[in-house]
């Protein structure tokens, strides 16, 4: 089947937006999505907000509106459930562009996972699975900043919220049937917490591939350069890689150059970029506080400990099959590594996500049994 059509309204003035928000104040739930561009900028550029009450859809042209207080009040109301699908980037763009931080959310992607429809399904795939409807993909890569939008773009944008209310109803019913409503509430609080943490964007050096090989001053240089790049990328509104790529930062930390000439010997760093940022980079390296060097990063797990992780994953697979829930929702690789590292050091530490909430009854015992029976830790 192909997507059905729905009535959509174009909102392009402050007055229209204010009237819409007043009209929607009594709503108990609204479906929401955003269209934005992020090809050559650090921050996403918001182009469009789609809202639906399940019957109608409103396309809010944020490029022609400059008074968003009514929308902020509406979307931040704790009485209103905002129905998203995989809202991580939506949170980011709404916060950056309009200082809007939702408080009461329902993520259809996570809900679908909790009721075992599928893990991390994209919106179009979930709609196809549940409703046997194929959504158009032609405008996925549209330039949403250009006006006027075509009728096809508007239809594509409206389709992104068209099925969210129906998904919300179906998934909510399944959550009640499986007694997993509290599970979803827990996951939604976790999503909002992750969104708040992501804003800080601190300690990017921990995410650099291969950083664990650095020690002492080299690690201090990497942290200093990552912090500088973050500030620079934000101030220029350019992607991190447009300032300096991760692999170049790692090489700079390894070699700790002191002259512009040495910078030109670094692979994958272009002369134009060196001319623009080279002096700043050398200054950052020179300014590293050698008395305040960060601790070394954890080494990769040893082979015996990696074998224990494999056993953990196999045990989680069994639990996932028994409980009819995707295994990926139970525990991630980072959490497993953290648990194993603490066990090797002598005292097993459990991430809060596993020691509280719905995972306590099934995930925690499964992992504890593996650790207790292992002779490799």
In tens, the pLDDT along 272-288 reads: 999 999 999 999 999 99
The 3-state DSSP class for residue 366 equals: helix
pLDDT band at 21 (very low <50, low <70, confident <90, very high): very high
Where on the phi/psi map is residue 120: left (φ > 0), alpha (ψ -120 to 50), or beta? left
pLDDT band at 2 (very low <50, low <70, confident <90, very high): very low
Dist CA 286 CA 131 (whole Å): 60
Neighbours of 223 (CB within 10 A): 22
Give 196-251 as a DSSP string: HHHHH---GGGGSTTGGG--HHHHHHHHHHHHHHHHHHHHHT--HHHH--HHHHHH
pLDDT band at 376 (very low <50, low <70, confident <90, very high): confident
Q: What is the pLDDT of residue 198?
A: 81
Of 298, 286, 300, the C-alpha closest to 217 is: 286
Residue 52 bridge partners (DSSP): 31, 57
The position carrying tokens 């490799």 is 376
Dist CA 176 CA 61 (whole Å): 37
Sequence ranges of the chain with CATH classification 3.30.420.10: 7-200
Q: What is the pLDDT of residue 17?
A: 98
Q: What is the pLDDT of residue 100?
A: 97
Sequence ranges of the chain with CATH classification 1.10.150.80: 204-286, 303-373
Could you tell me what percent of the chain has a pLDDT over 70?
A: 98
Architecture of the domain whose range is 7-200: 2-Layer Sandwich (3.30)
Q: What is the pLDDT of residue 136?
A: 82
The mean pLDDT value of the chain amounts to 94
Q: What is the pLDDT of residue 374?
A: 86
The position carrying tokens 């599928």 is 118
Asked if residue 142 has pLDDT above 90, the reply is no
Measured between alpha carbons, how far apart are the two ends of the chain, in Å? 54
Q: Alpha helix (H) ranges present in 11-115?
A: 14-24, 69-75, 88-98, 108-114
**Is residue 95 a contact partner of residue 101, using CB atoms and an 8 Å limit?**
yes
Q: What is the mean pLDDT of residues 14-27?
A: 97
Q: What is the mean pLDDT of residues 260-279?
A: 95
Dist CA 218 CA 317 (whole Å): 40
pLDDT tens digits for range 86-118: 999 999 999 999 999 999 999 999 999 999 998
- Entry field: residues in the chain: 377
For residue 165 the two structure tokens come to 């209310």
Annotation: CATH topology of 303-373: DNA polymerase; domain 1 (1.10.150)
Element containing residue 83 per DSSP (H, E): strand 81-84
Asked if residue 377 has pLDDT above 90, the reply is no
Treating both helix axes as pointing N-terminal to C-terminal, what angle do 164-177 and 181-200 enclose, rounded to 10 degrees?
120
Q: What is the pLDDT of residue 73?
A: 98
Q: What is the pLDDT of residue 6?
A: 65
CATH of segment(s) 204-286:
1.10.150.80
Dist CA 166 CA 154 (whole Å): 20
Asked if residue 153 has pLDDT above 50, the reply is yes
**Is residue 374 a contact partner of residue 311, using CB atoms and an 8 Å limit?**
yes
The position carrying tokens 């601190």 is 202
Neighbours of 354 (CB within 10 A): 19
Residue 58 bridge partners (DSSP): 9, 51
Q: What is the mean pLDDT of residues 313-336?
A: 94
- pTM for this prediction: 0.92
Q: What is the mean pLDDT of residues 338-342?
A: 94
Could you tell me what percent of the chain has a pLDDT over 90?
A: 89
């Amino acid at each position: 089947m192909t997507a059905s059509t729905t009535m959509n309204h174009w909102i392009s003035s402050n007055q229209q937006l204010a009237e819409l928000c007043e009209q929607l104040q009594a709503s108990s739930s609204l479906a929401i999505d955003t269209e934005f561009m992020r090809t050559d900028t650090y921050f996403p550029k918001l182009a469009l907000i789609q809202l639906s009450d399940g019957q109608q859809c409103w396309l809010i042209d944020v490029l022609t509106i400059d008074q968003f207080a009514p929308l902020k009040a509406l979307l931040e109301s704790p009485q209103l459930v905002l129905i998203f699908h995989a809202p991580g980037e939506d949170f980011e763009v709404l916060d950056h562009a309009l200082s809007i931080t939702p408080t009461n959310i329902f993520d259809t992607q996570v809900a679908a996972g909790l009721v075992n429809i599928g893990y991390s399904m994209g919106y179009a795939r979930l709609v196809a699975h549940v409703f046997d409807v194929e959504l158009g993909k032609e405008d996925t890569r549209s330039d949403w900043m250009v006006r006027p939008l075509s009728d096809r773009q508007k239809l594509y944008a409206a389709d992104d919220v068209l099925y969210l209310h129906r998904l919300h109803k179906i998934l909510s019913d399944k959550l009640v049937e499986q007694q997993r409503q509290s599970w979803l509430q827990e996951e939604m609080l976790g999503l909002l917490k992750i969104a708040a943490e992501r804003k800080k964007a601190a300690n990017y050096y921990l995410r650099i591939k291969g950083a664990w090989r650095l020690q002492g001053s080299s690690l201090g240089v990497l942290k200093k350069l990552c912090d500088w790049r973050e500030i620079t990328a934000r101030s220029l509104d350019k992607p991190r890689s447009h300032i300096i790529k991760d692999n170049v930062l790692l090489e700079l930390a390894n070699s700790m150059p002191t002259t512009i000439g040495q910078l030109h010997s670094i692979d994958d760093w272009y002369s134009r970029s060196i001319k623009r940022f080279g002096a700043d980079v050398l200054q950052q390296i020179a300014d590293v506080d050698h008395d305040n060097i960060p601790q070394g990063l954890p080494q990769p797990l040893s082979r015996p400990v990696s074998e224990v992780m494999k056993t953990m994953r196999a045990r989680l697979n069994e639990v996932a099959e028994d409980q009819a829930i995707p295994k990926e929702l139970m525990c991630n690789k980072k959490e497993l590594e953290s648990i194993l590292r603490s066990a090797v050091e002598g005292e097993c530490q459990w991430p809060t996500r596993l020691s509280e909430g719905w995972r306590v009854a099934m995930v925690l015992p499964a992992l504890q049994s593996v650790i207790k029976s292992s002779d490799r830790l």
